[in-house]
Amino acid sequence: MAALSDTIFAMSSGGLPSGIGVIRVSGQRAFEVASAVCDGSLPAPRLAGLRTLRLEDGSFLDRALVLVFPGPNSFTGEDCVEFHVHGSRAVVSAFLKLLAGFSELRLADAGEFSRRAFQNGKLDLIEVEGLADLLSAETEMQRRLAVEQANGHFSAIYDTWREKLIFARSMIEAELDFSDEGDIPGSISERIWSDVRELIADMDHVISSYNAGEIIRDGFRIALAGRPNAGKSSLLNALVQRDVAIVTEIAGTTRDIVHCELDLGGYKVHLFDTAGLRETEEVVEKEGIRRAKLTIAEADLVLHLVDLTAVDDEPTVDGIVIWRIGTKLDRAVARSEGSIAGFEALVSAIDGTGLDSLRQALVAEIQRRTIVPSVAVPSRLRQTHSIVSAASHLRNALLQRNKALELRAEDLRLASDDLSRLTGRIDTEMLLGKIFSEFCVGK
């Protein structure tokens, strides 16, 4: 069973082969193991030193840069050593095999370095989640959101809220438990309810920004809908600038959902090409249409494509937000202004007419949906649930004024615990410490 006392190691850089392979070792035996595999003494802390690495029999393995990070001033909070070896599969494999030969040294589990950083107080849960998002970020806005969380900017907001709650609870506890002390004025708890009201407003504002964070982190979902041969697959290929979907003159070519991702203005966008909507008894096409309707219902935006060369009635498309897009503009005969009214864009996937304007309009729509004062917004449902729960407890304490003060104090405690779960830091001693420091009760 994995133990915190184990010294762990793993490769921390990307796939092989590469110019450099970084192997990290963390734990009580990190310096001992590093001294055993390196010729000469270890470099000074946080200064890179070039060292020769030796195998068990003393033979040459590699020349590597070695960096030493004494705990607690390291990523994990433990003694930590990094070896920057040449990134060939043979070198890395031989070095990992060498490390595995030491007692009480084992290969790290997935995410174990970050887990130890959390357990040692180097990162909180928000920062850990931000770090994970940063490692998987594909677009500029994903990077910015992840950096805000990984660098603790969002945690600072939560900590400010929690400090205010701790102060409010200390006022109530002081009135309840230490009212006989000369330096504890009566009815002091009445001073804190305006602060609680402000906290609720702040939390509601952050909760309302969850959808923006979700769009930035997980991507904006756009479904292409319309009749068969309305130009959905052609538009998909044109927007992603490669052949993703099959395009033919045969109606009903697309049966299943075709999904691809692209970066629009720094935002991650999911594009879904769906089966053409029409009445049919053909079994496979009927299933494709059913799946298309499900995709449309789950989309953030539906592009309802209308063939400008056709005269057929348009099918009804139900979605959250629908834009009518006129397609095949290059083949459309001259049309009166009235016949092209009501379209958000007119495009041609063949000659590119209108595509840049459509892209700009889509970016503007995503920006409109993600307008927030700061990128420090909740991006995971876990975070939002905790804030919603905390705000609910605060409302109970604020609005139920006839409830006993002890019960209102319990509501504040539950709200404080919800905020503590956000970051994973629950300190049962902080409240008493606040009381004694503010009111000199322990004198």
Q: How confident is the model at residue 314 (pLDDT cuts 50, 70, 90)?
A: low
Q: Which of 295, 354, 364, 302 is nearest to 327 (CA)?
A: 354
pLDDT for 387-420, tens place per residue?
999 999 999 988 887 888 888 888 998 998 888 8
Confidence at residue 124, expressed as pLDDT on a 0 to 100 scale: 85
Beta bridge partners of 62: 53
Q: Looking at the predicted structure, is the pLDDT value of residue 338 above 70?
A: no
User: Which two tokens mark 175?
Assistant: 């009135």
| Low-confidence winner among 177-181, 197-201, 260-264 (lowest mean pLDDT) | 177-181
Domain check: are 179 and 272 in the same one?
A: no
d(CA 363, CA 360): 5
CATH number at residue 77: 3.30.1360.120
Residue 130 and residue 149 in contact, taking contact as beta carbons nearer than 8 Å:
yes
Domain check: are 350 and 258 in the same one?
A: yes
Confidence at residue 421, expressed as pLDDT on a 0 to 100 scale: 83
Q: How confident is the model at residue 6 (pLDDT cuts 50, 70, 90)?
A: confident
Residue percentage of the chain with pLDDT more than 90: 31
302 — phi, psi (to 5°)? -110, 125
Domain check: are 351 and 386 in the same one?
A: no
d(CA 417, CA 424): 10
Confidence at residue 9, expressed as pLDDT on a 0 to 100 scale: 93
Q: What value does the mean pLDDT of the chain take?
A: 82
Give the pairing of strands 301-307 and 322-327.
Answer: parallel
d(CA 152, CA 146): 10
The identity of residue 365, as a single letter, is E
Domain check: are 18 and 106 in the same one?
A: yes
Using CB atoms within 10 Å of the CB of residue 389, give its burial: 0 to 12 exposed, 13 to 18 middle, 19+ buried: middle
Residue 129: CB atoms within 10 Å: 22
Domain membership flag for residue 140? no
pLDDT for 116-144, tens place per residue?
888 888 888 888 888 888 888 888 888 98
Which residue, of 322, 349, 369, is where some domain finishes?
369
- What mean pLDDT is predicted for residues 159-176? 83
Which residue, of 99, 118, 137, is where some domain finishes?
118
Domain check: are 250 and 360 in the same one?
A: yes
Q: Which of 6, 9, 35 is nearest to 23 (CA)?
A: 9
Q: Which residue has the tokens 């603790």?
A: 152
Residue 366 and residue 267 in contact, taking contact as beta carbons nearer than 8 Å:
yes
What's the number of domains the chain is made of?
3
Beta bridge partners of 326: 306, 346
Domain check: are 227 and 306 in the same one?
A: yes
Domain membership flag for residue 221? yes
Domain membership flag for residue 129? no
Domain check: are 240 and 358 in the same one?
A: yes
Domain check: are 104 and 204 in the same one?
A: no
User: Which two tokens mark 344?
Assistant: 């958000």
Domain check: are 54 and 87 in the same one?
A: yes
Domain check: are 166 and 81 in the same one?
A: no
Residue 319 and residue 341 in contact, taking contact as beta carbons nearer than 8 Å:
no
Domain check: are 258 and 319 in the same one?
A: yes
Domain membership flag for residue 63? yes
Domain membership flag for residue 28? yes
Confidence at residue 64, expressed as pLDDT on a 0 to 100 scale: 94
- What mean pLDDT is predicted for residues 76-87? 94
Q: How confident is the model at residue 432 (pLDDT cuts 50, 70, 90)?
A: very low
Beta strands in 31-79 (DSSP E): 49-54, 60-69
Domain membership flag for residue 315? yes
Beta bridge partners of 65: 50, 84
What is the C-alpha radius of gyration for the chain, rounded to an integer number of angstroms? 30
Q: Which residues contact 177 (CB under 8 A, 6 or more apart)?
A: none
- What mean pLDDT is predicted for residues 49-67? 94
Beta bridge partners of 222: 271, 301
pLDDT for 358-372, tens place per residue?
999 999 999 998 876
Domain membership flag for residue 141? no
CATH number at residue 198: 1.20.120.430
- What mean pLDDT is predicted for residues 84-98? 94
CATH number at residue 234: 3.40.50.300
The domain of 94 spans 7-118
Domain membership flag for residue 374? no
Which residue, of 328, 349, 369, is where some domain finishes?
369
Domain check: are 190 and 240 in the same one?
A: no
